[in-house]
Amino acid sequence: MKKSALLFTFIISALLNSMFAQETTLTSGYKPGDLAESFNLMNVDGKMVSPENYPEAKGFVVVFTCNHCPFSIAYEDRIIALDKEWSTKGYPVLALNPNDPTIQPEDSYENMKKRARSKKFTFPYLLDENGKVASRFGATKTPHVYVLTKTNDGLQVAYIGAIDDNSRNAGDVKTKYLENALQQLTAGQSVQVPVTKAIGCSIKRPQ
Amino acid sequence: MKFAFRINFQVNILSVLMFLCSQSSQVCAQSVSIIQWTEAESYWKNQHPDTFLVVNFWASWCKPCVTELPCFEELHNTTFSKPVKVLLVNLDYVEDLNNRVIPILKKRNIQSEVWLLNETNPNQWIDKVDKNWSGAIPATLFVNGRGNYLAFKENSFSCPELLDLVRNLSK
């Protein structure tokens, strides 16, 4: 009796284990073509910002970024330049910081305000508390970019990945993945390379 | 053919090392080789058949990566059923080798082999490590002696977790 109970517990736990393992190995989050749920997050000026606040926009460049990550810092000027160019063409940048400041103190809301001020961010820099939006999107690192386009059904994911092919030096960039995607979208074409990869700092989620 | 390639590759690594040694004795002591993706990939696909290889991708700016370095170092002091080789693949920019990477290795007295992967476009090689790798680090690849990729983990480890995993995979 005792033995069979033990065996039963073992089988159940093995089953649960395998289910859990499967869930964690599956790549979660959005894929190109998926509809993204909207969000409403606190900006560095204390006001709430949501994609719904932009009735004129054709879509958005959602950038998961943060204060501390050297890759995020390396891309700050490029993100500002992208926003200046593409917000006038209907694709403004929305930057979101998903990091838990108890793990990475440099990524606190106060430091976000300082960073936005000192770098003169032209776009909202939003606090993604507990990385909830990042988890929903499937963002794993900073910077991690998602291009959303407005469709009749809602915000559709058109591009996921890197800004370009050289984080180290903007002058050495050969392929501007994100801008290529935006150009194709605004020309009414489908995005030729909808997913790219880059090295980045892992998003620090609450433990 | 394969043999010739191997010799060629070793000479390459050696020349890089010799160059670095002439630049800085610190680099020489820590043996950080500057390599490119094709060299790295062919190295771990042409392992000694008895060796189990643990390839950890890390960077000086990645806090969880640096925290878990001692766990990888601990693998040296543990006996497994097969020889286990640890390769720490650093993803810092090459210009940060002396001022950022080497001090970390020295401070923690890292004895494992360290390579700096000097590639600018990760989009060309990330998928070759693992299709599901998003590019976040720490990340670790486990390769058997036949050059087969047994597992890939995009997460940090506690030391016991890492030991258990290596013990199971290297059986």
Q: Which residues of chain B does A70 touch, with a Cβ-Cβ cutoff of 8 Å? A: 61
Q: Which of A141, A197, A202 sits opposite B64 (nearest CB)?
A: A202
Q: Is the pLDDT of residue A49 over 50?
A: yes
| Chain A residues with a Cβ under 8 Å from any Cβ in chain B | 25, 27, 69-70, 104, 140-141, 144, 161-162, 165-169, 172, 174-175, 177, 196-203
Show residues of chain A in contact with B135, CB under 8 Å. 140-141, 162, 197-200
pLDDT per residue as tens digits for the range A129-185: 999 999 999 999 999 999 999 999 999 999 999 999 999 999 999 999 999 999 999
Tell whether ipTM is more than 0.85: no
Q: Where does residue A46 fall: left (phi above 0), alpha (psi -120 to 50 degrees), or beta otherwise?
A: left
The one-character DSSP state at B92 is S
pTM as predicted: 0.83
pLDDT average, residue stretch A186-191: 96
Residue A201 and residue B62: Cβ atoms within 8 Å? yes
pLDDT over threshold 70, residue A104: yes
Mutation site for A-interface testing, chosen from B56, B63, B94, B123 by largest number of A Cβ within 10 Å? B123
B30 — pLDDT class (breaks 50, 70, 90): low
- Chains A and B form CB pairs within 8 A to the count of 63
pLDDT of residue B11: 45
